[in-house]
Amino acid sequence: MKVLLVGHGAREHAIADALCRSVHEPKLFAIMSSCNPGIYRLCLRSGGKFFRGSETDPKFVADVAEQISADFVFIGPEEPQFHGVPDELWKRGIPCVGATEKCSEIERSKAFMRRLMWKYKIPGRLRFKAFRNVEDALAYIREYAESVALKPARQAGGKGVKVIADLKVYLSEEKRKVKEKHVIDIAEKHMKKYTDIEDRILIEEKVEGPEYTLQAFTDGKTLKPLPVVQDNKNAYEADIGPETGGMGSISGPGMLLPFLTQEEYDRSVEIVDACLKALQQEVGETYKGTIAGQMMLTPLWGPTIIEFYSRFGDPENVNVLPIMQTDMVDICEAILRESLHKIKLEFEECATVVKAIAPKGYPDRRDLAKGHPAHVDEKAIEEQGGKVFYGALDLREDGNMYTTGSRMVEIFAKAETIPEASKIAERCIPYVRLLDGWGLFHRSDIGSEVLLRRRIEQAELIRGVYQYRMQKGLIGVTIDWIPGRGKIVYEA
Ligand code: GLY
What's the rounded mean pLDDT across residues 43-49?
Answer: 98
Query: In the prediction, which pLDDT does 281 show?
Result: 98
Cα 296 to ligand 1 centre (Å): 14
Whose Cα sits closest to atom 4 in ligand 1?
Answer: 313
For residue 312, the ligand 1 atom closest to its alpha carbon is: 4
Q: Could you tell me what percent of the chain has a pLDDT over 70?
A: 100
CA atoms within 13 A on the CB side of 142: 6
Whose Cα sits closest to atom 3 in ligand 1?
Answer: 313
CA gap 266, 262 in Å, rounded: 6
For residue 315, the ligand 1 atom closest to its alpha carbon is: 1
For residue 294, the ligand 1 atom closest to its alpha carbon is: 2
For residue 313, the ligand 1 atom closest to its alpha carbon is: 4
59: left (phi over 0), alpha (psi -120 to 50) or beta: alpha
Query: In the prediction, which pLDDT does 489 show?
Result: 80
Cα 47 to ligand 1 centre (Å): 31
What's the rounded mean pLDDT across residues 82-103?
Answer: 98
Is the fold of 2-100 the same as that of 127-205?
no
Cα 333 to ligand 1 centre (Å): 25
Which of 233, 309, 354, 443 for a ligand 1 pocket mutation test, highest count of atoms within 8 Å of Cβ?
309
pLDDT band at 252 (very low <50, low <70, confident <90, very high): very high
For residue 11, the ligand 1 atom closest to its alpha carbon is: 4
pLDDT band at 172 (very low <50, low <70, confident <90, very high): confident
Query: In the prediction, which pLDDT does 167 show?
Result: 81
Query: In the prediction, which pLDDT does 397 show?
Result: 93
Q: Name every protein residue with a CB atom under 6 angstroms from any ligand 1 atom.
A: 158, 231, 245-246, 309, 313-314, 316
Task: Tell whether the model's pLDDT for residue 463 goes beyond 80.
Answer: yes
CATH number for the domain whose boundaries are 211-441? 3.30.470.20
Cα 403 to ligand 1 centre (Å): 19
**Among the four given CATH numbers 3.90.1150.10, 3.40.50.20, 3.40.50.10490, 3.40.50.300, the one describing domain 2-100:** 3.40.50.20
Which of 294, 307, 446 for a ligand 1 pocket mutation test, highest count of atoms within 8 Å of Cβ?
294
pLDDT band at 483 (very low <50, low <70, confident <90, very high): low
Task: Tell whether the model's pLDDT for residue 99 goes beyond 90.
Answer: yes
Task: Tell whether the model's pLDDT for residue 165 goes beyond 90.
Answer: no
Cα 431 to ligand 1 centre (Å): 25
CATH number for the domain whose boundaries are 127-205? 3.30.1490.20
CA gap 355, 410 in Å, rounded: 5
CA gap 459, 200 in Å, rounded: 33
Which of 106, 107, 213, 410 for a ligand 1 pocket mutation test, highest count of atoms within 8 Å of Cβ?
213
CA gap 68, 225 in Å, rounded: 32
Cα 79 to ligand 1 centre (Å): 13
Do 190 and 159 touch, CB atoms closer than 8 A? Answer: yes
pTM: 0.95
pLDDT digits (tens, 9 = 90+) for 338-379: 999 999 999 999 999 999 999 999 999 999 999 999 999 999
pLDDT digits (tens, 9 = 90+) for 286-342: 999 999 999 999 999 999 999 999 999 999 999 999 999 999 999 999 999 999 999
Cα 278 to ligand 1 centre (Å): 23
Residues comprising the chain, all counted: 492
CA atoms within 13 A on the CB side of 472: 13
Domain parsing of the chain, residue ranges: 2-100, 127-205, 211-441, 452-490
For residue 231, the ligand 1 atom closest to its alpha carbon is: 1
Cα 311 to ligand 1 centre (Å): 9
Which of 155, 296, 316, 446 for a ligand 1 pocket mutation test, highest count of atoms within 8 Å of Cβ?
316
385: left (phi over 0), alpha (psi -120 to 50) or beta: left
pLDDT digits (tens, 9 = 90+) for 182-195: 999 999 999 999 98
Which of 251, 314, 320, 321 for a ligand 1 pocket mutation test, highest count of atoms within 8 Å of Cβ?
314
Task: Tell whether the model's pLDDT for residue 481 goes beyond 80.
Answer: no
Lowest mean pLDDT of 104-118, 170-184, 286-300, 441-455, name the range. 170-184
Among 335, 329, 291, residue whose Cα is nearest residue 310: 291
Cα 486 to ligand 1 centre (Å): 40
CA gap 414, 394 in Å, rounded: 27
In degrees, to the nearest 5, what angle opens at C-alpha 228 toward C-alphas 227 and 230? 140
Lowest mean pLDDT of 31-40, 197-206, 252-261, 285-294, name the range. 197-206
